[in-house]
Amino acid sequence: MRTDFVRALERAANLEELSRDELAVLISADEEESAALFDCADMMRSRFMGDEVHLRGIIEFSNICSSNCYYCGLRKGNTALKRYRMSKAEILESARKAAVLGCRTIVLQSGEDRSYPAGLLAEIVAEIKSELDVAITLSVGERPREDYALWREAGADRYLLKHETCDGKLFSELRPGTVLEERLQRLAWLRELGYQVGSGNMVGLPGQTVETLAGDIVLMREMEVEMAGIGPFVPNRQTPLGSCPGGTLELTLKTLAAARLALPRTHLPATTATATIDALGRVKALRCGANVIMPNMTPLKYRASYSIYPGKTGLEDTPEESYAKAVRMVESAGRKVGTGYGHSLRHLEKK
Ligand code: MET
């Protein structure tokens, strides 16, 4: 093992703050180093987050999108996609089903469906919160600050808005017409409004290096995010990046493990994209620092149309099956299903 690798890992185990260079050294681990990195991340996860894995049921309620991100199949330029919006009744029904199955968090996600009425989403949030004993995460992209405020007042607990990449140039290339600073400004608003904030990034984007990935982690540490979704870039043929190579499982797991060392108290999901590139991806991620799984609670008839990337796992699974599979993954990793809301640790300390 490289001396600088061993030193960085030791410093991480002693809870010292790693520099971007040190994180890059960890992320560039070879096979032998990877094993040590994964063990250290697993130990850190056990120490700070315990053995519980939180299951957050995700409802993908609209695939309508006004953005044209180069990596995403929901981009408005993808005319091959059949667009849908679930009705309020359908969303409430899916949320009830998720809660009955055992989810203590409901994630409501959509494309950049900017004409989706903010008031309607506020009503949905309020009704779910009054009827069900769950936390709510919203992930509906870039909206005016007033909308975020309205939804927070309606009872939304958390907001997920991935920064996607910390490389500002790459960000604007991949997300035409948008800049990283504005995305970060939105994350700051969400924080001010009292949301538990989630960010995250893709691994293996064209033009990205291990230094970029180390920068993603440093950025999330600076923002003190409560959740960090780290998953591989999966090329989609219906997008301009269709013929680019995707992110590998190895690089994704190394980035995840390094994130666990730098963000010991942050919720880290074993992402669906990781499951897409490797059948055992999520179980492996649970052993490299992850402590959250997001079973899909979207009705089957809409599943295939929420095609951010191809080959998405679980397209044929009913919500019941998605939940049961998640439970099996938790058990096969030797862990237990979380019984609480899985709020951020800082949020719990404040109470
Ligand atoms: N559109 C939202 C965002 O960019 C949700 C994820 S993209 C399907 O944050």
| DSSP code string of 256-294 | HHHHHHH-TTSB-B--HHHHHH-TTHHHHHHTTT--EE-
For residue 60, the model assigns a pLDDT of 98
* pLDDT tens-place string over residues 231-240: 999 999 999 9
Kindly report the CATH number assigned to the domain that includes residue 106: 3.20.20.70
Residue 311 has pLDDT above 90, yes or no: no
Q: Is residue 220 part of a domain?
A: yes
- 207 alpha carbon – ligand 1 mean position (Å): 22
Q: What is the mean pLDDT of residues 310-329?
A: 93
d(CA 12, CA 38): 12
Q: Whose CA is nearest to atom 7 of ligand 1?
A: 111
Q: Is residue 341 part of a domain?
A: no
Interface predicted TM-score of the whole assembly (ipTM), two decimals: 0.88
Q: What is the mean pLDDT of residues 183-208?
A: 98
Q: Is residue 72 part of a domain?
A: yes
Ligand 1 environment, Cβ below 6 A = 74, 109, 111-112, 139-141, 161, 308
d(CA 88, CA 121): 8
- 142 alpha carbon – ligand 1 mean position (Å): 8
* pLDDT tens-place string over residues 17-52: 999 999 999 999 999 999 999 999 999 999 999 999
With cut-offs at 50, 70 and 90, classify the pLDDT of residue 350: low
* pLDDT tens-place string over residues 94-113: 999 999 999 999 999 999 99
Q: Whose CA is nearest to atom 3 of ligand 1?
A: 141
Q: Is residue 344 part of a domain?
A: no
Query: Which of 65, 140, 171 is the pocket-test mutation for ligand 1 (most atoms within 8 Å of CB)?
Result: 140
Q: What is the mean pLDDT of residues 269-285?
A: 95
- 98 alpha carbon – ligand 1 mean position (Å): 21
Residue 351 has pLDDT above 70, yes or no: no
C-beta neighbour count of 251 within 10 angstroms: 19
Q: How many residues does the chain have?
A: 351
Q: Is residue 345 part of a domain?
A: no
Q: Is residue 342 part of a domain?
A: no
* Cβ 152 vs Cβ 145: under 8 Å: no
Q: What is the mean pLDDT of residues 217-224?
A: 98
For residue 181, the model assigns a pLDDT of 98
Q: Is residue 350 part of a domain?
A: no
User: Residue type at 286?
Assistant: L
C-beta neighbour count of 30 within 10 angstroms: 10
Structure-block tokens of residue 144: 């005016």
Nearest to 161 by CA among 223, 82, 237: 223
Query: Which of 112, 113, 302 is the pocket-test mutation for ligand 1 (most atoms within 8 Å of CB)?
Result: 112
Q: List the domain range (segments joined by +) for residue 291.
A: 3-334
- 194 alpha carbon – ligand 1 mean position (Å): 20
User: Residue type at 31?
Assistant: E
The count of domains in the chain is 1
With cut-offs at 50, 70 and 90, classify the pLDDT of residue 261: very high
Query: Which atom of ligand 1 is nearest to 139's Cα?
Result: 5
User: Residue type at 11?
Assistant: R
Residue 120 has pLDDT above 70, yes or no: yes
Q: Is residue 242 part of a domain?
A: yes
